[in-house]
Structure formats: structure tokens, C-alpha cells
């Protein structure tokens, strides 16, 4: 798909998870204006044995779209399916008896930003999953967590560890993808493993557009060493499990002038809009549980009449 120089159309932003629902809640209601029924749900799905392999998801579905030109809105076929799923879920947190079984499900969705100001007045930039489909899982089907992401390669850096910054032989990549409304989503710390590093450095660079295939992979930090001195036998502290986004493959990269590529100017505009929204969020401050992330807002655009996006430095938009 050809992307105009200052506009970004749809890109691939797909998340696939198969696992156990560990937390879940939902509510139903009606919209204020047209009294359209809706169902809103949120929860967490764990796609492995480790608690680190849990990811939060959300879903909001109206029974129909808003009325337009005197005509009733179009029926949303996903409403009944989503409501039925919500009523059927048994989360791991709800399982009290030994024979209780938590719901196992496959979730298809996309990444979205989940930015907010916490109770310490700190701006937190994070990601969440906007779920679209909830699919039955065949018995014995393996749990998994995968991402297919298309976007603009913002940075590629050597990974280092420790105070001495020893290179690990891996790369860390930041990819700028988009949500449904065209809001930019920075996906940081995509890991290029050692075995793919040489090929990646030869074929991909900042400023290009590429589609990445990524697996969520669980790892365990090394044990913390015993302290010297003290008295008697000291305990070692097990390292905590954590999940990394590991690159497993990628489609050929596109240069800015290629058909289907995302231009530097389009990224400049998108990042300026994000920077402006984050500033407004920070200015509003902590909103408690009623706080609203910018991920739920439609992209305003430069001609919206709202606050002018803040400028973005050239360092943020690599060639």
C-alpha cells in the first residue's frame, strides 16, 4: 500500500496469545446519547508457566454504531459473541476448588499505548493489548505469545550489560508502529538475537520500514551472589523471570522512497502529536482509577484546531 509523504495508513499490528485467563472482569451498559448497549471487559492472559508471561487485554464493543443521517447505526456482529464470551469466562483468580478450571482461550488483537500519570505524579508510558477476537483452543494446543509488527525503524543499538557496559552480542531495536486511528506506538527493546545480528545489520537500518515477526520469550535473571562477610550460611536470591520480545524473522526492508514505505515526515508529524498528548496528560496529572490513557483517543491531526503538536527533534527521526 502506498503511503503519502505526510500520512500513515494502516500497517500490520497483530498480537496472538494462547493461554489461561488469570484475571477478568466485565460490565455492560448503554451509551448516554443513543442508549446503545455495550460490553466492556478487561483481564490478563498468561501464556506459559511463569507469571511474567501474563499480558493485560481490554475490549469494548457496542451493539451497533451511532446513527447517521437519520438512519440507525449498523449492527456489530461481534457484540453478541463478545458478551457471550464475557459471561462464560472463569479466571484463575476465581478458581477456589481443586477441580475448578480456568478458561483457556486464544486472543487476537493489536498493541495500543497505555500511558498515564500515577499517584506519584510520574508519567508512565506502557503498552496494552486491544483484543478483537476470542477463539476456542483445541485440547493440547500449545500456549504462545507472538507479534507481527510493521513500522518505522527508529533506532538500532548494541545491547550492553552491567556497569562496564559489556556488549552481549545482541541488538535492541525500537520500531514505531500504529494503532487503528493512526496514533504512533513506540515498541522498544525488540531483541535481535546473536544468530540473526549479522544478517540484520546487513539488511536493516534506521529510517527504513519493515515487518517484524516476534516471539514473547521467558527468561530468568541469574541468581544474586552471596554477600561477603556476615554470619553463618547466607541465602542466595533467585533471579526473577522476565519476558523479552525476540525477533525471529522479518520481511525485506523498504527505503523511504519505496512504495509502501513510511516517510520521515509522516513519522515527524505522528511523534509531534504523541509528544503533545503526553504533555497534556502530564499537565492533567493523576486521575486515579478514572484516568484515561491517550490510546483511547482518535488521532487529532494538525488541522483539528486543538493544541499545536510540540516539535520533535531530528534525533528522534533518524534518516
Q: What are the backbone dihedrals phi and psi of residue 81, each rounded to the nearest 5 degrees, phi first?
A: -65, -40
CATH superfamily of 13-224+237-316: Nucleic acid-binding proteins (2.40.50.140)
Per-residue pLDDT of 97-139, as tens digits, reads: 888 999 999 999 999 999 999 999 999 999 999 999 999 999 8
Does the pLDDT value for residue 307 go beyond 90? no
How does residue 239 score in pLDDT terms, banded at 50, 70 and 90? low
> Percentage of the chain surpassing pLDDT 90?
72
Q: What are the backbone dihedrals phi and psi of residue 54, each rounded to the nearest 5 degrees, phi first?
A: -100, 135
Per-residue pLDDT of 249-302, as tens digits, reads: 999 999 999 998 999 999 999 999 999 999 999 999 988 765 445 444 444 433
Residue 309: the pLDDT is 46
Question: What mean pLDDT is predicted for residues 1-21?
Answer: 77
**156 closest CA partner among 175, 173, 177, 176:** 173
Q: Which helix (H) or strand (E) holds 276?
A: helix 264-284
Q: Which residues contact 234 (CB under 8 A, 6 or more apart)?
A: 226, 227
Question: What mean pLDDT is predicted for residues 19-46?
Answer: 96
- In the chain, the N- to C-terminal Cα span, in Å, equals 21
Q: Which residues contact 185 (CB under 8 A, 6 or more apart)?
A: 13, 111, 112, 113, 127, 151, 176, 177, 178, 179
Give the three-state DSSP class for 195.
helix
Instruction: Give the Cβ contact number of residue 285 at 10 Å.
Output: 11
Q: Which of 1-10, 201-210, 298-307 has the lowest mean pLDDT?
A: 298-307
Q: Which residues contact 305 (CB under 8 A, 6 or more apart)?
A: none
Which residue has 506519584 as its cell numbers?
120
CA distance 180 to 15: 14
What pTM did the predictor assign? 0.82
Q: Pairing state of beta strands 37-46 and 54-62? A: antiparallel
Is residue 140 within 8 A of residue 44, CB to CB? The reply is: no
Q: Where are the domains of the chain?
A: 13-224+237-316
Residue 228: the pLDDT is 61
Q: What are the backbone dihedrals phi and psi of residue 296, each rounded to the nearest 5 degrees, phi first?
A: -90, 0
Does the pLDDT value for residue 84 go beyond 70? yes
Residue 139: the pLDDT is 86
Per-residue pLDDT of 138-185, as tens digits, reads: 988 999 999 999 999 999 999 999 899 999 999 999 999 999 888 999
pLDDT: which is higher, 90 or 316: 90
Question: What mean pLDDT is predicted for residues 208-222?
Answer: 91
How does residue 220 score in pLDDT terms, banded at 50, 70 and 90? confident
Does the pLDDT value for residue 231 go beyond 60? yes
Amino acid at each position: 500500500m502506498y503511503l503519502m509523504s505526510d500520512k500513515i495508513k494502516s500497517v500490520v499490528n497483530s498480537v496472538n496469545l494462547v493461554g489461561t485467563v488469570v484475571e477478568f472482569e466485565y460490565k455492560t451498559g448503554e451509551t448516554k446519547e443513543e442508549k446503545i448497549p455495550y460490553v466492556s471487559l478487561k483481564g490478563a492472559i498468561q501464556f506459559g508457566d511463569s507469571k511474567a508471561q501474563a499480558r493485560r487485554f481490554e475490549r469494548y464493543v457496542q451493539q451497533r454504531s451511532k446513527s447517521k443521517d437519520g438512519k440507525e447505526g449498523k449492527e456489530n456482529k461481534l457484540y453478541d459473541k463478545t458478551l457471550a464470551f464475557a459471561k462464560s469466562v472463569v479466571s484463575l483468580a476465581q478458581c477456589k476448588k481443586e477441580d475448578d478450571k480456568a478458561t483457556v482461550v486464544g486472543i487476537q488483537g493489536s498493541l495500543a499505548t497505555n500511558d498515564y500519570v500515577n499517584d506519584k505524579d510520574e508519567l508512565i508510558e506502557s503498552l496494552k493489548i486491544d483484543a478483537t477476537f476470542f477463539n476456542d483452543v483445541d485440547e493440547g494446543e500449545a500456549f504462545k505469545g507472538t507479534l507481527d509488527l510493521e513500522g518505522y525503524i527508529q533506532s538500532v543499538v548494541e545491547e550492553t550489560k552491567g556497569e562496564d557496559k559489556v556488549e552481549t552480542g545482541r541488538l535492541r531495536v525500537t520500531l514505531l508502529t500504529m494503532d487503528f486511528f493512526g496514533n504512533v506506538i513506540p515498541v522498544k527493546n525488540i531483541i535481535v538475537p546473536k544468530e540473526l545480528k549479522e544478517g540484520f545489520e546487513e539488511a536493516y537500518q534506521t529510517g527504513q520500514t519493515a515487518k517484524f515477526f516476534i516471539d514473547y520469550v521467558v527468561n530468568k535473571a541469574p541468581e544474586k551472589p552471596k554477600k561477603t562477610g556476615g554470619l553463618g550460611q547466607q541465602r542466595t536470591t533467585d533471579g526473577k523471570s522476565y519476558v523479552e520480545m525476540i525477533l525471529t524473522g522479518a520481511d525485506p526492508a523498504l527505503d523511504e522512497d519505496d512504495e509502501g514505505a513510511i516517510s520521515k515526515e509522516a513519522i515527524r508529524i505522528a511523534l509531534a502529536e504523541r509528544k503533545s498528548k503526553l504533555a497534556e496528560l502530564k499537565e492533567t496529572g493523576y486521575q486515579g482509577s478514572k484516568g484515561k490513557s491517550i490510546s483511547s483517543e482518535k488521532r487529532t491531526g494538525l488541522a483539528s484546531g486543538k493544541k499545536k503538536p510540540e516539535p520533535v527533534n531530528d534525533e528522534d527521526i533518524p534518516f
